[in-house]
Chains A and B, each alone.
Chain A
Amino acid sequence: MQRKLILSSPLLEITISRLCQELIENHQDFADSVIIGLQPRGIHFAQRIHQELEDITGVKIPFGFLDATFYRDDYRRRELVKANETKISFVIENKRVILVDDVLATGRMVRSALDAMTAFGRPEKVELCVLIDRIYNRDIPIHADYVGKKVNTLDTEKVLVELQEQGHEVDKIWLITN
């Protein structure tokens, strides 16, 4: 097994700042915008984006997290995946939703999340923000509007995100080749 470092501090902080600036460019005062992190691994990255946006803009932005396990398209086809907590304490009807995940690969998880979101209302617009975009791994036509870093990976490779919030000492994002 080979590991290649693809992103770490201080470039990670710079990347997050740049994503926040791009979001501010499009959402300005975030009056009708909400941020939703995708369970299980997207929530920490989402929290960082949310925190930095609030620090920069000084406004409160509604934040929640969404678990799309019950909407997956591989139920009964693959091993069961553990369900995680969903916490969305606001209505997303007519809101501009910024969906945040750590890695975008096949796009299937995002499709499930789009389905899961309909249970909370009809948003005006949904945008996708990801830290890592594995550009050639897509199974379905889904694209991200805000991308931290694009990486060119094989299906057999894996991207491993290690963040301090998950108990790691330093933030490191690896590309793993078997």
Chain B
Amino acid sequence: MQKLSTRHLLGIKDLTPDDIELIMATAREFKEVINRPIKKVPSLRDVTIANVFFENSTRTRLSFELAEKRLSADTLNFSASGSSVKKGETLLDTVNNILAMKVDMIVMRHASPGAPHFLSKHITANIVNAGDGTHEHPTQALLDSFSMREKLGGDLAGKKIAIIGDILHSRVALSNILALKKQGAEVTLCGPSTLIPRYITDLGVKVSHDVKQTLAWCDVANVLRIQLERQQIKYFPSLREYSLYFGINKKMLDDLNKEIVVMHPGPINRGVELSSDAADSHHSIILDQVENGVAVRMAVLYLLAGQN
């Protein structure tokens, strides 16, 4: 009866609004599970999952690994550094070698956009995209939506969500926009014009360059990291100037005189996009996002593995 419309989670783009609802409902039950004295269920005990990370990660990788363990799956971890990738092995060969060891699911992060989509055309195992370059990061968007729903109470239809920061290089931004639009939310992007992609308004979002105005408008501000490692050219004169124009501090939030929720997918550049006092204030639900990440990833893995 209740199943996802897709065999892989490659991006939010492929999910239907019903899929998102199913993941949210299942994640709610898993959140209750991970708050029990015994946090583990036996569902995936005959499933083996490989976490294949071609790019660095702390949160996502730990979160996936914990989600897999809470579901009783067997896990193996692979990171590109120190592997045969350095000797010139192709992506498909690497993954096929892992699958030859009887692995049922692949959780993959890769620096190239579309890498998991390419893989899905060649292998039968379920694939979960844990971030592909600047393209999508579906589980982050799902956990962001879950955290917003939890904090705002109820669904996101008609809710005003701002995404502030480096939209151009952010896979979190694209996945969030797609997920929020599918749930009927209003979305405004805010950042310097150099960091907002052209034609992004085609996705049905508004664009603003005034952070104060955006904060005054929104119910939730999802603040993104300035991704210096992906910026080959200068998009703004200096971090100090970025922080002066687009950085958010606690005073700005308090001056709004309204309930506002501040989120950040991590890692935070403290003092750049978000000041320390804002990140640690009562407005912030950054650590709830991390907790919810485990529950949402459990739901995704449970629903995908259950289709076989």
Residues of A at the B interface (CB closer than 8 Å) are 67, 69-72, 75-76, 79-87, 115-116, 118-121
Chain B, 258-275, contact with A by CB distance < 8 Å: what is the 0/1 string? 000000000000000000
6 interchain residue pairs of minimum CB distance = A70-B41, A119-B38, A83-B29, A80-B306, A82-B2, A119-B36
Query: If the complex has contacts A120-B37, A121-B37, are A76 and B46 also in contact, measured as CB distance less than 8 A?
Result: yes
Shortest Cβ gap from A87 to chain B (Å): 8
Q: Report B-chain residues with C-beta under 8 Å of the C-beta of A86.
A: 29, 32-33
Q: Report A-chain residues with C-beta under 8 Å of the C-beta of B306.
A: 75-76, 80
Does B81 touch A at the CB level, under 8 Å?
A: no
Question: Nearest chain-B residue to A82 (Cβ)?
Answer: B2
Question: Nearest chain-B residue to A116 (Cβ)?
Answer: B41
In this complex, the member of A71, A76, A82 whose beta carbon has the largest number of chain B beta carbons within 10 angstroms is A76
Residues of B at the A interface (CB closer than 8 Å) are 1-3, 25-26, 28-30, 32-33, 36-38, 40-43, 46-47, 302-303, 305-308
Asked if B42 and A70 sit within 8 Å, CB to CB, the answer is yes
Asked if A118 and B38 sit within 8 Å, CB to CB, the answer is yes
Shortest Cβ gap from B69 to chain A (Å): 14
How many A-B contacts at CB < 8 Å in the complex? 57
How far, in whole Å, are A120 and B3 apart by their CA atoms in the complex?
Answer: 29
Question: Nearest chain-A residue to B70 (Cβ)?
Answer: A70
Shortest Cβ gap from B178 to chain A (Å): 24
Asked if A80 and B29 sit within 8 Å, CB to CB, the answer is no
Query: If the complex has contacts A119-B37, A121-B37, are A83 and B26 also in contact, measured as CB distance less than 8 A?
Result: yes
Question: Nearest chain-B residue to A79 (Cβ)?
Answer: B1
Q: Report A-chain residues with C-beta under 8 Å of the C-beta of B25.
A: 82-83
How far, in whole Å, are A115 and B306 apart by their CA atoms in the complex?
Answer: 19
Q: Report A-chain residues with C-beta under 8 Å of the C-beta of B43.
A: 70-72, 75
Q: Report A-chain residues with C-beta under 8 Å of the C-beta of B3.
A: 79-80
Question: Nearest chain-B residue to A86 (Cβ)?
Answer: B32
Asked if B29 and A67 sit within 8 Å, CB to CB, the answer is yes
In this complex, the member of A69, A83, A84, A121 whose beta carbon has the largest number of chain B beta carbons within 10 angstroms is A83
Query: If the complex has contacts A76-B308, A80-B3, A82-B1, are A70 and B302 also in contact, measured as CB distance less than 8 A?
Result: yes
Question: Nearest chain-B residue to A115 (Cβ)?
Answer: B42
Question: Nearest chain-A residue to B299 (Cβ)?
Answer: A83
Can you name 26 A-B pairs with beta carbons within 8 Å? A70-B33, A70-B41, A70-B42, A70-B43, A70-B302, A72-B43, A76-B305, A76-B308, A79-B3, A80-B303, A80-B306, A80-B307, A81-B2, A82-B1, A82-B2, A82-B25, A83-B26, A83-B29, A83-B30, A84-B29, A85-B28, A85-B29, A86-B32, A119-B33, A119-B36, A119-B38
Q: Report B-chain residues with C-beta under 8 Å of the C-beta of A118.
A: 38
Shortest Cβ gap from A118 to chain B (Å): 7
Q: Report A-chain residues with C-beta under 8 Å of the C-beta of B30.
A: 83
Q: Report A-chain residues with C-beta under 8 Å of the C-beta of B28.
A: 85
- 9 additional contacts, CB 8 Å, given A75-B43, A86-B33? A67-B29, A70-B41, A76-B306, A83-B30, A85-B29, A119-B33, A119-B38, A120-B36, A120-B38
How far, in whole Å, are A70 and B43 apart by their CA atoms in the complex?
Answer: 5
How far, in whole Å, are A34 and B308 apart by their CA atoms in the complex?
Answer: 38
How far, in whole Å, are A120 and B37 apart by their CA atoms in the complex?
Answer: 7
Shortest Cβ gap from A13 to chain B (Å): 33
Q: Report A-chain residues with C-beta under 8 Å of the C-beta of B2.
A: 80-82
Q: Report B-chain residues with C-beta under 8 Å of the C-beta of A115.
A: 42
In this complex, the member of B41, B47, B305 whose beta carbon has the largest number of chain A beta carbons within 10 angstroms is B41
Q: Report A-chain residues with C-beta under 8 Å of the C-beta of B32.
A: 85-87
